[in-house]
Amino acid sequence: MKIGSTCSITKVGGEGALRQHFLDMGVIPGAQVTIIKYAPLGDPVELMIHGYQLTLRLADAEKIEVDPIDSSSETEHKKAPVNTSIHPGLGEGGKFHQKGHANPLPECEILTFALVGNQNSGKTTLFNQLTGSNQHVGNFPGVTVDRKDGSIKGYPDTRVTDLPGIYSMSPYSSEEIVSRNFVMNDKPKAIINIVDATNIQRNLYLTMQLLEMNVPMVVALNMMDEITTNGGSIDVNKMEAALGVPVVPISAAKNQGIHELIEHAIHIAKYQEKPLRQDFCDENDHNGAVHRGIHAVIHLIEDHAKSADIPVRFAASKVIEGDSLVLDKLALDENEKETIEHIVLQMEKERKLDRSAAIADMRYSFIKKICSAFVHKPGKSKESIRSEKIDRILTGKWTAIPLFIVIMFVISFLTFNVIGGTLQGLLEKGIDALTALTDSALTSLGVNEVLHGLIIDGIFAGVGSVLSFLPIIVTLFFFLSLLEDSGYIARVAFFMDKLLRRIGLSGRSIVPMLIGFGCTVPAVMSTRTLPSERDRKMTILLTPFMSCTAKMPIYAFFVDAFFPKYKALILTGLYLLGIVISILIALVFKRTIFKGEAVPFVMELPNYRLPSAKNVGQLLWEKAKDFLHRAFTVIFIATIIIWLLQSFGPHFNLVTNQHDSILAIIAGWLAPLMIPVGLGDWRICTALISGFMAKESVVSTLDILYGQDITSVMTAASAASLLVFSLLYTPCVAAIASIRRELGIKWALGVVLWQCFIAWTAALIVHLISMLF
């Protein structure tokens, strides 16, 4: 199909969860799609459907059959904007929602809210506004991978849970299961459904399924600022009447309407006001085929749904869709199952659509009806025009990949040379001055020599050497969050998909990898957005090879000491080496333990949005705090332990020669293993062991142990080998813990061993090569 051509979908092929996902994303028979562009490498393709951008692989797109249509005849009829004077300000509560005061919950009960909505609808932004906390906000599908709790500001008896974004109640990836299970099993007192008003059609699809849950609910119509500035309007009162729940227009980013939202949310939860409407099937649509089907099933399974404690309307639509989880819970007997099968077959025959498509179509027809009545969409929003312009360059056929490389290069240059480097120099001077000051103070006070040593050679040397990396780490996170928050990383996933598929992954895996350059822990967690176990495992095993910020101090320390002339070259080389090795490993995986194809790539491309300074600031503050916390806990303790172990011998006697210390003895057992790679010195072994606690402490440990210029005690060859070894060997404890959480203890231990093995082999090669010079 040509770029810019519009067609109407006639049939959606494929099967199973992927097909359901297509349908849930609005790819249903009758919907219109416009081809926007192909990725620079020719695959995947970007489409416009229901007013938002979706990316698909060509292979998956082939399963969708389309009929060309004349785009001129199908233009949406223009409506006059709704008289906005009815809604002068955002957040004015609907007129329709009459607050009742029947059946209040007892005073002491905690009001629990689930914050549910599509990805990128602004859930986390709203959560932060509601609770006043600093969760990470991102403009990439799936930034919230775990649920987070907090109480609403000023209402201590409430608890709001921020859930991962979902498109429907049929879970597709493991994070989506978290959200569905929360709503189904944790039974929140009320749901706050956040709807992206700029993308209202697809967002309401989830709303309709949430209404079926029969839980008190309020719709927060977010991003209203973008609607109003573009001259659009939404008749909130009519929408409330149609949906039967309060609808509050808000702008989470601008903190507008939040107060009203809270008021409505607390009210419906307190008085348990359930949705007034759950029945959206139209009895006149195709002779009511779907309507009759659903209602027949509802009556049939009513008793089972009650005893299984599942809302009956929700159970009925899931049964028709063939959701095995719900079917199992209902425990229907054979006869009932057969009856349902007959009902569904009849429905399919009359509606001329299969079961899943028929249900999806029913929902989208209702949405279409209400949207055409209440939503006045401006032609094209400023934001989407801006996004298109940016995309023409950033995902352009010839510019995308070169620009990606340039952007990465500029970021590393700015981080390591300009901003990070300068600030780091200043900080180092400060720390040195402070150390000297403390040193002379301690001397003049005549402090005991051991204590003096502990403070200056232990704590100051250890913690100080790590602390000076704060600027670099904060700068790197600043750029990463900028990329993510602006929506660029989603584009990277789009144009890198084809390349990543070569190594058996999908474009989505690029996100954990990029986050891995910051820290492996969140990177491993973010793999939950990947819809297949295979992709998830593979990505988790590869992320530790991305050089995390904690490895920076090691690189910088040795490069500065041994190869100052080639600083940029070697640093870049190390980063690239990690990437190259992970590609090689992926290729091996693809042919051995992870045979098969990567998951389909179905993803929404959000509009580019300018990240708010507040959000970025908050994130940086969090990261800095986190780093300082580590420096003063883990690394602080590690430096003290190491100092003690190296100062005392096996009989707790103060040693004069470090060779007799406990540390030397322990590390001595390991040292023979490391001789072939040129790292047989017990002090290096100790440093590497301490690096298992936190990578930064490799440097601090060496600082304590050598206590003198490193170049006089180590050769350049072993420095090179050490650099490679520390790039590749086992991730730190925190990362291993998060791998264990995702994949279990066996995999976690496996990662430790096999990365040490890879690191050893690579270091051996480097050592042998460098011996030649």
Residues that bind ligand GDP (CB under 6 A): 117, 119-125, 137-139, 143-144, 165, 222-223, 225-226, 251-254, 485, 609, 612
CB of 609 to ligand GDP, least distance (A): 4
How far apart, in Å, are the Cα atoms of 243 and each of 190, 276, 291, 293, 718? Answer: 16, 8, 17, 22, 69
Q: How far apart are the first and last CA of the chain?
A: 57
DSSP per residue over 500-549, as a string?
A: HHHTT--GGGHHHHHHHTT-HHHHHHHGGGSS-HHHHHHHHHHGGGS--G
CB of 485 to ligand GDP, least distance (A): 5
Q: Which residue is nearest to ligand GDP (CB)?
A: 122
Distance of CA 253 to the CA centre of its chain: 19
Residue with smaller CB distance to ligand GDP, 139 or 543: 139
**Residue environment code for 208-236, b if the CB has 16+ CB neighbours within 10 A, otherwise e:** bbbbbbebbbbbbbbbbbbbbebebbbbb
Q: Which two tokens stand for residue 258?
A: 């939040």
Residue 391 touches which of Mg ion, ligand GDP, none (Cβ within 5-8 Å per kind) = none
The rounded distance, in Å, linking the Cα atoms of 211 and 278 is 6
CB of 552 to ligand GDP, least distance (A): 27
Q: What helix, strand, coil percent values describe the chain, rounded to 5?
A: 60, 10, 30
Cis peptide before 311 (omega within 30 of 0): no
Residue 609 touches which of Mg ion, ligand GDP, none (Cβ within 5-8 Å per kind) = ligand GDP
CB of 144 to Mg ion, least distance (A): 3
CB of 120 to Mg ion, least distance (A): 8
Count the neighbouring beta carbons within 10 Å of the beta carbon of residue 587.
Answer: 13
E-state strands within 252-348: none
Beta 603-605 vs 52-56: how paired, if at all?
A: antiparallel
Candidate ranges 119-127, 179-187, 345-353, 637-645; the one touching Mg ion (CB under 5 A): 119-127
Residue with smaller CB distance to ligand GDP, 200 or 689: 200
Residue 685 touches which of ligand GDP, Mg ion, none (Cβ within 5-8 Å per kind) = none
The rounded distance, in Å, linking the Cα atoms of 110 and 344 is 41
CB of 313 to ligand GDP, least distance (A): 26
**Count of alpha carbons within 13 Å of 346, Cβ hemisphere only?**
16
CB of 164 to ligand GDP, least distance (A): 8
Dihedral angle at the C-alpha atoms of 634, 635, 636, 637, nearest 10 degrees? 50
Q: Residue 136's closest CA among 605, 408, 492, 480?
A: 480
Q: Which long-range contacts (CB under 8 A, 24 or more apart) does 363-367 make?
A: 363/205, 363/208, 363/209, 363/280, 364/26, 364/28, 364/30, 364/31, 364/50, 364/201, 364/205, 365/282, 365/285, 366/208, 366/280, 366/281, 366/282, 367/201, 367/204, 367/205, 367/208
Candidate ranges 17-25, 138-146, 167-175, 493-501; the one touching Mg ion (CB under 5 A): 138-146
CB of 124 to ligand GDP, least distance (A): 3
Residue with smaller CB distance to Mg ion, 194 or 552: 194
Do the beta carbons of residue 268 and residue 217 sit within 8 Å?
Answer: yes
CB of 121 to ligand GDP, least distance (A): 5
How far apart, in Å, are the Cα atoms of 752 and each of 544, 575, 672, 749? Answer: 10, 20, 20, 5
Residue 125 touches which of ligand GDP, Mg ion, none (Cβ within 5-8 Å per kind) = ligand GDP
Residue reference for tokens 């730190």: 732
Residue with smaller CB distance to ligand GDP, 164 or 731: 164
Q: Applying CB under 5 A, does 144 fall inside the site for Mg ion?
A: yes
Residue with smaller CB distance to ligand GDP, 136 or 267: 136
Candidate ranges 121-129, 232-240, 312-320, 487-495; the one touching Mg ion (CB under 5 A): 121-129
Residue with smaller CB distance to ligand GDP, 239 or 326: 239
CB of 515 to Mg ion, least distance (A): 14
Residue 251 touches which of ligand GDP, Mg ion, none (Cβ within 5-8 Å per kind) = ligand GDP
Binding-site member from 53, 124, 486, 730 for Mg ion (CB under 5 A): 124
Residue with smaller CB distance to Mg ion, 138 or 246: 138
CB of 194 to Mg ion, least distance (A): 10
Residue with smaller CB distance to Mg ion, 142 or 678: 142
Residue reference for tokens 């403070």: 455
Residue 348 touches which of Mg ion, ligand GDP, none (Cβ within 5-8 Å per kind) = none
How far apart, in Å, are the Cα atoms of 65 and each of 27, 28, 31, 177, 486? Answer: 11, 10, 11, 30, 34
Q: Which two tokens stand for residue 507?
A: 């474009």
**Residue environment code for 72-92, b if the CB has 16+ CB neighbours within 10 A, otherwise e:** eeeeeeeeeebeeeebeebbe
What would you measure as the largest C-alpha separation in the chain, in angstroms?
A: 96
Residue 29 touches which of Mg ion, ligand GDP, none (Cβ within 5-8 Å per kind) = none
Residue with smaller CB distance to ligand GDP, 509 or 618: 618
| 70: Cβ contacts below 8 Å, ≥ 6 apart | none
Residue 496 touches which of ligand GDP, Mg ion, none (Cβ within 5-8 Å per kind) = none
Q: Is 193 helix (H, G, I), strand (E, B) or coil?
A: strand
Residue 27 touches which of Mg ion, ligand GDP, none (Cβ within 5-8 Å per kind) = none
Residue with smaller CB distance to ligand GDP, 130 or 570: 130
CB of 129 to Mg ion, least distance (A): 13
Residue 121 touches which of Mg ion, ligand GDP, none (Cβ within 5-8 Å per kind) = ligand GDP
Residue with smaller CB distance to ligand GDP, 167 or 594: 167
Residue 531 touches which of ligand GDP, Mg ion, none (Cβ within 5-8 Å per kind) = none
The rounded distance, in Å, linking the Cα atoms of 742 and 749 is 13
CB of 234 to ligand GDP, least distance (A): 14
Residue 225 touches which of Mg ion, ligand GDP, none (Cβ within 5-8 Å per kind) = ligand GDP
Residue with smaller CB distance to Mg ion, 29 or 165: 165
Residue with smaller CB distance to Mg ion, 124 or 233: 124
The rounded distance, in Å, linking the Cα atoms of 696 and 642 is 14
Residue with smaller CB distance to Mg ion, 123 or 351: 123
Beta 190-196 vs 233-234: how paired, if at all?
A: unpaired
The residues in 325-364 that bind Mg ion, with binding defined as CB under 5 A, are none
Q: What secondary structure letter does DSSP report for 306?
A: H
Residue 278 touches which of Mg ion, ligand GDP, none (Cβ within 5-8 Å per kind) = none
CB of 123 to Mg ion, least distance (A): 5
- Footprint of Mg ion (CB under 5 A): 123-124, 143-144
